[in-house]
Structure 1
């Protein structure tokens, strides 16, 4: 009897507690209790956040564009009205054996082999300004420290280099699934120490000594996580006149540098959202320069070919900043033996 009564008492107690809630629901104007929205377990949120890309990562194409900019600034443009400033530090070493000859009346009067070596550190500050969304202006200011050593000549030279003015124009809108073309134009002003106004063979020059004009075409295409790029350029220079440089037993009065044609190709590969690598090859073929001496002798130098194999590593320190380190190895006798470069974008 007691066992049967206990369930009935529990049911009655539950009914007493439920009556006020039912009465409130039945009243006019009463509102039904809302059902709280279902939420996924905390473990599901953590998994979703872990798989999601972090802010600023986007896709790897942004990192590849920044890497291309550091490898060769001719591959990217900036928006109208924007300014980008960057700093480049480069070290180059040249060591070679140089044959020195001179021809006088009656035949060869001088023939000797000189060991020539130079160490050059170049600090370059460059600024890009977006004239239009598809047109960017550029100015570069190099500061050069050079130590050269040759037979009878050695010393250190610190001077400004040749100032460069350039523009980059993108004729067609950049699209992800199509190659991007960029047309370039540059003027190099002879603001550095001219090689035609120093002691011949001393290696103390910090500039080319002539005004040079160059035009080029660059192409790149990003196929995530790889970016392919290539370039073609032509450079011509104005002659250096009214010179008075002693060269052997003669007085050099005029130099007309030959036209130079260059090309390059390579690729960049994004290992992750923060690390990228680049491999590229650059070659320049220069026609011989024409020399005129005070005694009426005209001469022409031989053609030169310079080739460099470049290996680079890019590290993305922030969504807008990528630091790039590169190492270049000369593959021809007319190239620097070794080149080490560092590119660092500066906030402005």
Structure 2
């Protein structure tokens, strides 16, 4: 998306398919400082089922129910890094290496109904990343995340449905602070994160309107010993993230639906502590338009395909993905 000053890939979480985690800044953010039944059901029920498949953050399972969902996501980020160097009263801008990072994520999400109004989720991502400009690649586990979704009030016909969520992100992927930034790529954020927020959905047959607000606090990463720009990095305080999304799903038929969503995340400025100085990075704002197609392949299964694009310099250029339920014997509750 052209030349930018210290911009980076914001998490991207594909917000259209998961609770808003405001998917956590990655290695590029550190560089900022340096330079995702019933066969006779009526249309309203069909829409609800398709919507739940496309918007997992609004789905709650009955007590004891279990589901396993496979998802595949691809994102492309093109960037030319510009490092700003200050010497005395003079400031120099040096064009660094160009990047074209292709990220492929295979994820498995397990959902369990603790109660009828409380669902636990665990997401396991497997990441492959390629930088075609610098001829780098990495294959590794990404950051595992867990969440609880709670519906405090009973759903009533004609009334909005509110769901509250809390999330925990674990730094299980390769950390951007444990690698050589000139020769390696990271698959994780490098720090823990805690998030919370609220989702709201409202059915107006044959349309479902939905939206969400979220906040993520990224815990500081300490005990770092990494050389960046000729200086030793010792600690990173990631900026917190505010996020929102809104959109609608429309049922074309019992078997086909379309959904459109807008997702936005604003990350506050991170702080980087070096052995001899302390620097503050730049705030980042990512905005994504996402389009989704839901296809019912059987009375019980819906395949969801999505495509999206970034609207700011801090966003991925291209987003593609799909998800489908996995039927594993013994997984479902009797």
Normalising by the residue count of structure 1, what TM-score does the alignment of the two structures yield?
A: 0.80
Deviations 1:119-168 (Å, cap 9, x if unpaired)? Answer: 00000000100000000001000000000245xx4311000000111100
Q: Which residue of structure 2 lines up, in the alignment, with residue 41 of structure 1?
A: none
Superposition deviation, residue 249 in structure 1: 1.5
Superposition deviation, residue 110 in structure 1: 6.3
* Match status 1:135 vs 2:145: no
Q: Which residue of structure 2 lines up, in the alignment, with residue 80 of structure 1?
A: 63
Output the CA distance in 1 between the equivalents of 2:64 and 2:146: 18
* 2:54–2:294 contact (8 Å) kept in structure 1: no
Q: Which residue of structure 2 lines up, in the alignment, with residue 59 of structure 1?
A: 42
Q: Which residue of structure 2 lines up, in the alignment, with residue 269 of structure 1?
A: 250
Output the CA distance in 1 between the equivalents of 2:179 and 2:78: 20
Report 1:44-193 matches (<5 A).
Answer: 56-104=39-87, 107-108=90-91, 111-150=94-133, 153-193=134-174
Deviations 1:212-233 (Å, cap 9, x if unpaired)? Answer: 0110100001111100000000
* Match status 1:279 vs 2:260: yes
> Greater Rg, structure 1 or structure 2?
1
Aligned to 2:50, what secondary structure does the other structure show? Answer: helix
* 2:291–2:307 contact (8 Å) kept in structure 1: yes
Superposition deviation, residue 246 in structure 1: 1.1
Q: Which residue of structure 1 lines up, in the alignment, with residue 230 of structure 2?
A: 249
For the aligned residues, what is the CA RMSD?
A: 1.7
Output the CA distance in 1 between the equivalents of 2:89 and 2:182: 25
Q: Which residue of structure 2 lines up, in the alignment, with residue 344 of structure 1?
A: 324
Superposition deviation, residue 108 in structure 1: 4.5
Output the CA distance in 2 between the equivalents of 1:304 and 1:201: 23
* 1:148–1:203 contact (8 Å) kept in structure 2: no
Output the CA distance in 1 between the equivalents of 2:292 and 2:93: 44
* 2:137–2:184 contact (8 Å) kept in structure 1: no
Superposition deviation, residue 75 in structure 1: 0.5
Q: Which residue of structure 1 lines up, in the alignment, with residue 196 of structure 2?
A: 215
Deviations 1:79-127 (Å, cap 9, x if unpaired)? Answer: 0000011000001111122212333567546612432110000000001
Superposition deviation, residue 200 in structure 1: 2.5
Question: Would the alpha carbon gap of residues 188 and 55 (structure 1) be closer, same or farther in structure 2, given more than 3 Å must change?
Answer: closer
Question: Would the alpha carbon gap of residues 194 and 55 (structure 1) be closer, same or farther in structure 2, given more than 3 Å must change?
Answer: closer
Output the CA distance in 2 between the equivalents of 1:288 and 1:77: 35
Aligned to 2:210, what secondary structure does the other structure show? Answer: strand
Aligned to 1:207, what secondary structure does the other structure show? Answer: coil
Output the CA distance in 2 between the equivalents of 1:305 and 1:186: 21
Q: Which residue of structure 2 lines up, in the alignment, with residue 327 of structure 1?
A: 307
Output the CA distance in 1 between the equivalents of 2:207 and 2:121: 27
Alignment partner for residue 285 of structure 2, among 305, 313, 327? Answer: 305
* 1:102–1:249 contact (8 Å) kept in structure 2: no
Question: Would the alpha carbon gap of residues 158 and 100 (structure 1) be closer, same or farther in structure 2, given more than 3 Å must change?
Answer: same
Unmatched 5+ stretches in structure 1: 1-53
* 1:292–1:298 contact (8 Å) kept in structure 2: yes
Question: Would the alpha carbon gap of residues 68 and 203 (structure 1) be closer, same or farther in structure 2, given more than 3 Å must change?
Answer: farther
Output the CA distance in 1 between the equivalents of 2:38 and 2:283: 52
Output the CA distance in 1 between the equivalents of 2:64 and 2:38: 25
* Match status 1:259 vs 2:245: no
Normalising by the residue count of structure 2, what TM-score does the alignment of the two structures yield?
A: 0.84
Superposition deviation, residue 64 in structure 1: 2.4
Q: Which residue of structure 1 lines up, in the alignment, with residue 34 of structure 2?
A: none
Report 1:18-29 matches (<5 A).
Answer: none
